[in-house]
Structure 1
């Protein structure tokens, strides 16, 4: 009885306490709401007093995140059309600047190049780049400067890129033979070109293709790489609310990240173990792992690379080198099939330049002026990373009278810049002729065309990528005439973009290849010399 009474009285007191709290909270809520509104208003006044660039209105807490409903570069382009080429957004708790004109790009790359040389420490990138050891994601500083020097002078110099000519030639030949042997039309060009770029980068970086001669092994490597790219390009709440990194333990992202990193790390460890000899081979037989291990042992280097830093650089090379090149080739082939007169002109140039030869070699590329214009206009319309790699300001600066705070994240919308009507007539049309009498190039000196960025953080692998792109497209045009599958009209070809770190075509490009030559015939002139002749199905090329 006493116990029951105690419980009853205690519960009654608790009930009274709760009721009192409810009354208090009901009284307090409007006051708190009023204070919140006053704080928001005061904050907006403070923002205005700082003269930040113009931008859309923000919601509490999430800022402008709700306005990125579509693909980020398209949503940002729509907002920029309304608020101007220098636009301020608040993405979660991250102040963000968007550059979407050549004039503004020139301002940040030339006038304020150093200030805009930082990189934000993104959640997935930090893990997958071995704590930001990769050149792409490394913060600006001494380590970044030394690794950039190693990459430019040792890994991607003109001489080094040229040394891998045989690799590119062999892999392109294998792709062409694979298309010729295909069991029936159409062929999935998106898949074949991704395999091509993967194989080239693997051979250049690791010394061999990572397939062991078995499609299953090759498929597994591609799966790891694809997952890595998905993680780097996907949405992560901690990138907009850094204090919410704990949430990734519950939404599955942390598990995916750890699994992918473990597989990636195991793969690279295995590759490094296959290069045990401390003596570097002759330069013509070196792969990039050999070069990096040699640099690690070089006492004259300014920094001593750790194994994890070598892994970070290697990861950077094959992540950046495969997806971007393959996406660009696919987009250009899609534009060519939609514009038959452009394709015919490009094919005529290629076939005339190497008349009677089975394949286009790299020595032929300088002669292919129109093909180079095709590639330029493809990169203008379809930059592989439309927002480039995000930057971060290192200190406060002023642009056009607006204050840009330190630690502001910066997106350069290369897609908007490449389709700006101020610089481009018929800006949304694929018209390679626009470049025939123009000096505009994509190497970072002309700010109306920035598919590879510019300045200190411009892409160091640009020359390697362009060689692969031009060589692959030239050979595809030389060896085959291309058609769409039955029932698909050129104007109906799906050109939607897929979400990701690299902007791929959402629907794979499947085309019908028609060989332009009928057969090869070997003529023997009574000696050991045999001459191989090419017989074209089209007499114009005989």
Structure 2
């Protein structure tokens, strides 16, 4: 259902206007900061943008702190991601799982209750709106909850889902989209600011293909070859999910001399694969040109680059994620030049990682913008 109904090309395209609205808001904010020559917390702003886009697409609107939890929507999402990434001794020693020595089960139940109450309210609001709908907004793009409610308790549909299924899918899509997308954009921006020559090449391509009198449109993205190589190189060095979601061996097998028994958990280290010196020349260097005249792709066909996984269980949101990453990144480097605050040199930018389900930067990316475009 996610692939055919929620994340189809047609559905993703129906939210194009929304993505433009949210991106324009970010650019307007940064333009004001540029007028004051003030530093912008790009990590925080991109994270907020990603959350707002995901919420509007999945649930139909953005949410204020007071509508969710006193900690805020993004903060609770981050808490859940950190808890999910914490190794649980009970997973490895089942006999002690019931004692919850680390307190992880208790914490997850607490976060789960917050989400369940929130998502229950969202589902109920959508049900009430659908009952009161007089078909006055037929042209309005349906959000993902609207689509799923169309299959609720349906006897005829091939998708048999109930209320708990809808809430679970909403949570899965929120957690899968917000953090991974913003982290990828954050790393790409950091690498470009740290490598000014590469940044200038991206900007030169944008000047040539788009011009300096308008912002980037989604229709421009496919023609931006060098920008797409930058995104590909970012995904190689900084995959959104460094450790793929666990898989299970369906039968006994042997791979490279290693015996893997049936039902064993299998975890793929995409981070290590992307930095394997046997597969990549100078693997730790950010070098988009390595993909010039290369047919290596990240959609699961080339196993030296699998940030989205491979096969039937690969990430179904690849098209949506790439669209947002490329659009936001293109706008930020096309509309503005960037310099680090307090006289910091590009080579001094801290690129330390923090381990988790995604691998974000340890420190927020702060940079001072200068407007580039000609405004009529």
Say yes or no: TM over 0.5: yes
Match of 1:228 in 2: 80
- Preserved contact between residue 153 and residue 162 of structure 2 (Cα < 8 Å): no
Cα shift at 1:216: 9.3
Which residue of 310, 317, 328 maps to 2:184?
Answer: 328
The match for 2:113 is 262
CA contact (8 A) 1:377 1:431 kept: yes
User: For residues 217 and 282 of structure 1, what CA distance do their matches in structure 2 show?
Assistant: 33
Q: Which moved more, 1:281-290 or 1:259-268?
A: 281-290
Question: Distance between the aligned counterparts of 1:255 and 1:365, measured in 2?
Answer: 45
1:373 aligns with 2:225: no
What TM-score do the two structures reach when normalised by structure 2?
Answer: 0.93
Mark the CA change 1:402 to 1:229 in structure 2 (over 3 Å): closer, same or farther: closer
Give how far 1:228 is off: 1.3
What secondary structure does 2:344 align onto? coil
Q: Secondary structure at the match of 1:160?
A: helix
CA contact (8 A) 1:233 1:500 kept: yes
Specify the SS of the correspondent of 1:181: helix
Aligned residue number for residue 154 of structure 1: 5
CA-CA distance at 1:274 after TM superposition: 1.3
Aligned 1:341-360 pairs, distance under 5 A = 341-360=197-216
Q: Is the 8 A contact 1:211 1:217 kept in 2?
A: no
Structure 1 CA distance for aligned equivalents of residues 161 and 141 of structure 2: 22
Q: Distance in 1 between matches of 2:14 and 2:291?
A: 30
* Contact residue 251 and residue 262 of structure 2 kept, 8 A: yes
Q: Aligned with 1:197: secondary structure? A: helix
> What SS is found at the alignment partner of 1:296?
coil
List aligned pairs for 1:120-519, cutoff 5 A: 150-182=1-33, 185-211=38-64, 220-248=72-100, 250-276=101-127, 277=130, 282=138, 284-517=140-373
CA displacement, residues 256-279 of structure 1 (integer Å, 9 cap, x when unaligned):
222111110111111111112257
Deviation at 1:177, TM superposition (A): 1.0
* Unaligned segments of structure 1, at least 5 residues: 1-149, 521-532, 534-542
* C-alpha deviation, 1:399, in angstroms: 2.5
Instruction: Tell me the secondary structure at the aligned position of residue 514 of structure 1.
Output: strand
Question: In structure 1, what is the Cα distance between the partners aligned to 2:231 and 2:270?
Answer: 16
- 3-state SS, counterpart of residue 377 of structure 1: helix
Q: CA deviation at 1:390?
A: 1.6
CA contact (8 A) 2:68 2:118 kept: no
* Contact 2:214-2:373 at 8 Å conserved across structures: no
Instruction: Determine which structure has greater relative contact order: mean sequence separation of CA pairs < 8 Å that are 6+ residues apart, divided by chain length.
Output: 2
2:242–2:271 contact (8 Å) kept in structure 1? yes
Q: Which structure 2 segments of 5+ residues have no match? A: none
TM-score (norm 1): 0.65
Shift of 1:247: 2.5
1:211–1:218: 8 Å Cα contact kept in structure 2?
A: no
Deviations 1:174-213 (A, max 9, x none): 111111223652111110000011000000000011128x
Q: How much does 1:429 deviate?
A: 0.8
Write out per-residue CA displacement over residues 515-538 of structure 1, whole angstroms, 9 at most, x where no aligned residue.
1147x3xxxxxxxxxxxx2xxxxx
Give the distance between the partners of 1:485 and 1:324, measured in 2 at CA: 26
Displacement of 1:166 in angstroms is 0.8
Distance 1:410 1:395 in 2: 12
Q: In terms of mean alpha carbon deviation, does 274-283 or 236-245 score higher?
A: 274-283
1:193·1:326 contact (CA, 8 Å) conserved in 2? Answer: yes
Which deviates more from structure 2 when the two are superposed, residues 290-299 or residues 363-372? 290-299
Q: Residue 251 of structure 1: CA displacement?
A: 3.8
The 5-angstrom pairing of residues 9-28 of structure 1 reads none
My pick for the range that moved more, 180-189 or 217-226, is 217-226
CA-CA distance at 1:285 after TM superposition: 2.1
Does the residue aligned with 1:511 lie in a helix, a strand or coil?
strand
Offset of residue 222 of structure 1: 1.5
TM superposition shift of 1:246: 2.0
Greater Rg, structure 1 or structure 2?
1
State the shift of 1:395 in Å: 2.1
Alpha-carbon spacing, 1:230–1:395, altered in 2? closer, same or farther (3 Å): same
Number of matched pairs: 369
**Secondary structure at the counterpart of residue 150 of structure 2:** helix
Q: CA RMSD in A?
A: 2.0
Distance 1:346 1:215 in 2: 40
1:384-416 CA distances to partner (integer Å, 9 max, x unpaired)? Answer: 111111212122122244421112121211112
Q: Could you tell me how far apart the structure 1 residues matched to 2:258 and 2:297 are?
A: 30
8 Å CA contact 1:338, 1:491 repeated in 2? yes
